[in-house]
Amino acid sequence: MLSNVAKSIGQRNLFGILQQNGFASEATFETRAFKLHNIEEGPSTKVTLTKEDALKYYGQMYMIRRMETAAGNLYKEKVIRGFCHLYSGQEACAVGMRAAMRPEDSCITAYRCHGWTYLMGVSPVAVLAELTGRSSGCARGKGGSMHMYGKNFYGGNGIVGAQVPLGVGIGFAAKYNGTKGACIALYGDGAANQGQLFEVYNMAKLWNTPCIFVCENNGYGMGTSAERASANTNYYTRGDFVPGIWVDGMDVLAVREATRFALEHTSSGKGPILMETATYRYSGHSMSDPGTSYRSRDEIAEVRQTRDPITSLREKILTTELASVEELKEIEGKIRAEVDTATKVARADKEIAVEELTADIYANPENLTAVRNTVPHAELQHKRLGQAVNL
């Protein structure tokens, strides 16, 4: 029997659970082994999770899932037009990386960016309203699905792979300005064969740029499997002299630990590092892709049942008694209500006036005075209405 004093100060049991007054406040887990390239030692597979962080990560992943579900429904109703790429299934990648980031770190990603935008400080209303092209969107409705921005978040980029050289530039700026920050530059397995990636692997290593290259390998580049598109599917090894780490991208704790390790590596002056997160997307490549012509419904269902990042974290939380079912249901209910309210605003809000369409193209209005119109000799005026987010 434990003494009353021992109980009051907390004791760690055989399962790695730290209990405080009979309730778990911290638990320890083993992640899948990390695979390493050109580096002798990687992150620890033994990870600790506090109750506070557990509920935070669960809430963030659940919020992204609900937002993407709402976005999908709005698209089917033709309230959202144009391109729309959903992140459902990949939530652990973004949430795990964000958990490890410091205030001085930056991020840039491709067009599957709704979740990242939320994690970088943009409200669900501003994300969904941007998708519907309304004035309360984070880019005033002018960016849409692929072009969202926030503090230290450089988008949302529509050109395949083009965000990666920009990410190296952001990392170079951090080094040049002495901020001690690093830039996380994300891309998918479909973009991994772009020549510009190999160019900036080389440049980043030459200059020891504080940049973390992250290949979110969800198994398919549009409708082509990684095995059919790449001679080398070990994407974490593709940086040659750049060290690499493979991580289970469906485990938010594994991604967090790998990112912490990567940030410490690159911020200590050792240069860039490459991370491959093995993940999976439940939806098609975009809303125009049903996602079942190149893979079976059974495959999708199996991943949902056995590897879903939200369900997996929920099971960890409940098994170790970090929280009760009632606590998780309360979080879920609040998030559902918030997303429902945000969806109503995104539907009803007004669009910007035509005159604002050509505003804030350049941070310095002197760089552009007139903007070409759809008809000749009828230029539109360029003006500045708001401060550039990351200027």
pLDDT in tens, 246-294: 999 999 999 999 999 999 999 999 999 999 999 999 999 999 899 999 9
pLDDT at 4 over 50: no
pTM: 0.93
Task: Give the 3-state secondary structure of residue 90.
Answer: coil
Give 19's pLDDT tier (boundaries 50, 70, 90): low
As to burial, measured by CB atoms within 10 angstroms (0-12 exposed, 13-18 middle, 19+ buried), residue 147 is middle
Q: Is 329 exposed, middle or buried (0-12, 13-18, 19+ CB in 10 A)?
A: exposed
Percent of the chain with pLDDT over 70: 94
Indicate the pLDDT class of residue 83, thresholds 50, 70 and 90.
Answer: very high
pLDDT of residue 17 exceeding 80: no
Checking if the pLDDT of 15 tops 50, the result is: no
Tokens, residue 281: 């997307």
Look at residue 3 in the predicted model and tell me its pLDDT: 35
Q: Which residue has the higher pLDDT, 17 or 296?
A: 296
pLDDT grade for 355, boundaries at 50, 70 and 90: confident
Q: What is the pLDDT of residue 10?
A: 39
Burial (CB count within 10 angstroms: exposed 0-12, middle 13-18, buried 19+), residue 204: buried
Quick: pLDDT tens for 315-354: 999 999 999 999 999 999 999 999 999 999 999 999 999 8
**Does residue 14 have a pLDDT over 80?**
no
For residues 294 and 285, what is the distance between their CA atoms, to the nearest angstrom? 11
At residue 23, the pLDDT reads: 67
pLDDT of residue 391: 84
Q: For residue range 31-82, what is the model confidence (pLDDT) as tens digits?
A: 999 999 999 999 999 999 999 999 999 999 999 999 999 999 999 999 999 9
SS (H, E, C) 318-372: HHCCCCCHHHHHHHHHHHHHHHHHHHHHHHHCCCCCHHHHHCCCCCCHHHCCEEC
Q: Alpha-carbon torsion 317, 322, 326, 331, what sign? A: negative
Domain ranges in the chain with CATH number 3.40.50.970? 26-352
Q: Which CATH architecture has domain 26-352?
A: 3-Layer(aba) Sandwich (3.40)
